[in-house]
Structure 1
Amino acid sequence: MATSTRWGMTIPLDGVPLAEQGDVCRELEDLGYTDLWSAEGMGTDGFTPLAVAAAVTRDVHLGIAIASAFTRGPALLAQTAATLAATAPGRFTLGIGASSSVLVHEWNDLAFDRPLSRCRDLVRYLRVALTGERVDRAYDTFTVRGARVGVAVEQPPAILLAGLRGRMLELAGAEADGAILNWLSATDVTRVAPIVTGAAGVDRPREVVARILVVPTDDAEVARAIGRRMITAYLNVPVYRAFHEWLGRSEELAPMWTAWAAGERREALAAIPDHVVDALVLHGSPEQVREGMLEHVAHGVTVPVAALLPVPGVDPLQACRDLAPR
């Protein structure tokens, strides 16, 4: 089995009060985690947990997976990234992505238009803005007039792009510093990662970060019930449905999609095959979960990042201790 010199955990931990997350981050670093990555969706924002972690850790790498390309203006996103990069010199990575129409349009009342072009323009803008240079330019999807980030950043952060399918993954490899992946199995990585790492005309290494869903229990019935709820919540979103159709799961997931569209929620949950849940959501003993994460590495992931799903009666911090690198 392949090994990884980097080993990540998603923060903040679900089930631990936010006021205690600083202590958690210290312990995670002491346990040997090399990376702490935040997310931004239904819970906390993505930057505040990293600021907390930056204040209490020494060497651990910090990343956001992801900040939406739409919900912050370009200059504000550059300011925020520069502030964190200056707070934790050399150990911050900015992950951006289109997100989804649900988060962008339905939750934030913003137009979810031309996501590929928006991400391309944002990567190009951030490359310049994070050097401190004044930007006065009309891009295809937005215009920045005379903005300069007034935070000195000695080492601009790497910029990674979240991608699901072809053109976004190609953009991640060609213009960003790599990609952020989620909602895929270890074997799926073999189809996705080469699109990033094999981008034409690029001879520099690219990172492939994967957020890997983990249910920290060896009770398969409980784990699969939690996994099924997550699958119905996400894979019915159009962009994720299209992703899994592209990956070849149309036949396996069609009964779930049909039942969900008909409003038959219980039937939709029951229609998801066990082997699909097991492939997309790791569970079992800590050793089994660790082996599953290392399978992702063997197939092309450079930074595996566990994303713990809450389990009744399971202490998330103890789960982190159990999953710490060996």
Structure 2
Amino acid sequence: MSAIGLVLPDEFSHFSLDQTLHFAERADDAGFHSVWKQEASGSNGLLTLGAISQCTSDVRLGMGVASVFSRTPALLGMSAVTLDRLSDGRALLGLGVSSPPLVETWHGTEFERPLRRMREAMEIVRQVTAGGTVEYEGEVFDVGPYSMALDPLGDVPLLNAAIGPTNRRLTGEYADGWLPGFTPLSAFRENLSDVRSSARKTGRDPDDLLVAPWVPTAVDEDPDRAEYLARYVLAQEMAMGYNEQVGEYGFGDAPDEAHDRFRAGDREGAIEAISREMLDDLSVYGTRSEVREQLGRWYEAGADVVVAMPSMAASFEEILDLLDALGPDDR
């Protein structure tokens, strides 16, 4: 099987920090390409990855996704270089614009000009991670000149978690990779063409971009349990606000219904609201052999790495089973 990554289960899935580190160690032992740490209202993602860097040796360490509103570009760049140093060159920096509820309610910052902010943040982070002098005058940021006391190992890859078409074009122009979440397989190839076309227009080689979609994934020899786990993670994410994005792909009322029911406390109703079409187009689930076959379709559509997103309803043992099932064949 081609390269596989893992979104690390953490506090949102009711796992302790020690258990999160254990999952990262197991992914490292199993030959995974990368592990990714989310960051919302739980543990600090970059600090957690710093700890993981000391108990792993080969797996790449991805911040997924760092908001360009919650940290300054200078701090993002310094953090990326520090993690890269700690991990001997294994750092990946996933960047995103987040959403108005998170930016305004959780961080107390105005959600203004997100795409312009993303573009300028990527340009500044590039300067910071290169070391030397940083100087930038943009429409959102005006920084420097100042000198960085850094000794980078090399460029830390920047991946943009772009959703909309304008942001996908920014990815092709400025980022090293694309880190989309909750994009249906049926639309993935076309959306990827936006990224690659933009790269070509700016004189970049689109084949140099790392394409790493996040895909809800559930493995169980009991097909009903695997389906339930996949439905749960989709229902949870619709409640987190992805219903608007997913709804644009023609799934009818299902995304909004799942959102409303989950937010109202009717989790089982939200799970039932996930349509079969949504389930099959947005997630990968079933027995080990079925999941490997389904993952193959994502690679065929252009993914370099599929980042498996476990269900928040999965138990500790089910996460370990998932890690065992998805480990590359040649480990």
Shorter chain as normaliser: what TM range? Answer: 0.7 to 0.9
Aligned residue type for 2:216: L
Aligned residue type for 1:295: R
Distance 1:108 1:89 in 2: 32
Alignment correspondent of 2:163: 164
Is 1:11 matched with 2:13? no
Shift >6 Å, 4+ stretches? none
- Report if the CA contact (8 A) 2:161-2:179 is conserved: yes
Distance 1:319 1:272 in 2: 22
Alignment correspondent of 1:283: 285
- Report if the CA contact (8 A) 1:224-1:278 is conserved: no
213-222 or 191-200, larger mean C-alpha shift: 213-222
Q: Cα 1:312–1:12, aligned 2, differ >3 Å: closer, same or farther?
A: closer
Distance 2:7 2:70 in 1: 21
- Report if the CA contact (8 A) 2:219-2:325 is conserved: no
Q: Cα 1:234–1:318, aligned 2, differ >3 Å: closer, same or farther?
A: closer
User: For each residue in 1:261-295, what CA deviation from the matched residue of structure 2 results, as whole angstroms up to 9, or x when unmatched?
Assistant: 99695655543312312332322112222222222
Aligned residue type for 1:292: Q
Is 1:85 matched with 2:84? yes
- Report if the CA contact (8 A) 1:187-1:299 is conserved: no
What secondary structure is seen at the aligned counterpart in 2 of 1:116? helix
Distance 1:85 1:52 in 2: 12
Distance 2:264 2:35 in 1: 38
TM superposition shift of 1:80: 0.9
Alignment correspondent of 1:294: 296
Distance 1:259 1:25 in 2: 33
Alignment correspondent of 2:133: 134
Distance 2:51 2:262 in 1: 41
Aligned residue type for 2:6: M
What secondary structure is seen at the aligned counterpart in 1 of 2:309? strand
Distance 1:182 1:43 in 2: 20
79-88 or 311-320, larger mean C-alpha shift: 311-320
What secondary structure is seen at the aligned counterpart in 1 of 2:159? strand
Q: Cα 1:24–1:311, aligned 2, differ >3 Å: closer, same or farther?
A: closer
User: For each residue in 1:165-222, what CA deviation from the matched residue of structure 2 results, as whole angstroms up to 9, or x when unmatched?
Assistant: 2010110011111210111233331122111122223332211111111233344444
Q: Cα 1:286–1:275, aligned 2, differ >3 Å: closer, same or farther?
A: same
TM superposition shift of 1:259: 5.6
TM superposition shift of 1:225: 4.3
Q: Cα 1:151–1:163, aligned 2, differ >3 Å: closer, same or farther?
A: same
Q: Cα 1:255–1:48, aligned 2, differ >3 Å: closer, same or farther?
A: closer
75-84 or 219-228, larger mean C-alpha shift: 219-228
- Report if the CA contact (8 A) 1:38-1:46 is conserved: yes
- Report if the CA contact (8 A) 2:73-2:122 is conserved: no
Distance 2:174 2:139 in 1: 16
What secondary structure is seen at the aligned counterpart in 2 of 1:184? coil
Is 1:246 matched with 2:248? yes
Distance 2:183 2:96 in 1: 17
Aligned residue type for 1:197: R
Output aligned runs, 1:17-96, within 5 Å. 17-96=16-95
Aligned residue type for 1:214: T
**Structure 2 residue ranges without an equivalent (≥5):** none
Alignment correspondent of 2:323: 320
Distance 1:143 1:225 in 2: 49
What secondary structure is seen at the aligned counterpart in 2 of 1:62? strand
143-152 or 30-39, larger mean C-alpha shift: 143-152
Aligned-residue RMSD, C-alpha:
2.8
Alignment correspondent of 1:198: 197
Is 1:176 matched with 2:204? no
Q: Cα 1:314–1:147, aligned 2, differ >3 Å: closer, same or farther?
A: same
TM superposition shift of 1:252: 5.2
What secondary structure is seen at the aligned counterpart in 2 of 1:37? strand
TM superposition shift of 1:16: 5.2
After TM superposition, the score normalised by the length of structure 2 is: 0.85
After TM superposition, the score normalised by the length of structure 1 is: 0.87
Alignment correspondent of 1:155: 154
61-70 or 269-278, larger mean C-alpha shift: 269-278
Aligned residue type for 1:280: L
Distance 1:276 1:54 in 2: 36
Distance 1:153 1:96 in 2: 19
What secondary structure is seen at the aligned counterpart in 2 of 1:152? coil
What secondary structure is seen at the aligned counterpart in 1 of 2:130? coil
**Structure 1 residue ranges without an equivalent (≥5):** none
What secondary structure is seen at the aligned counterpart in 2 of 1:278? helix
Distance 1:237 1:179 in 2: 21
Q: Percent identity?
A: 24
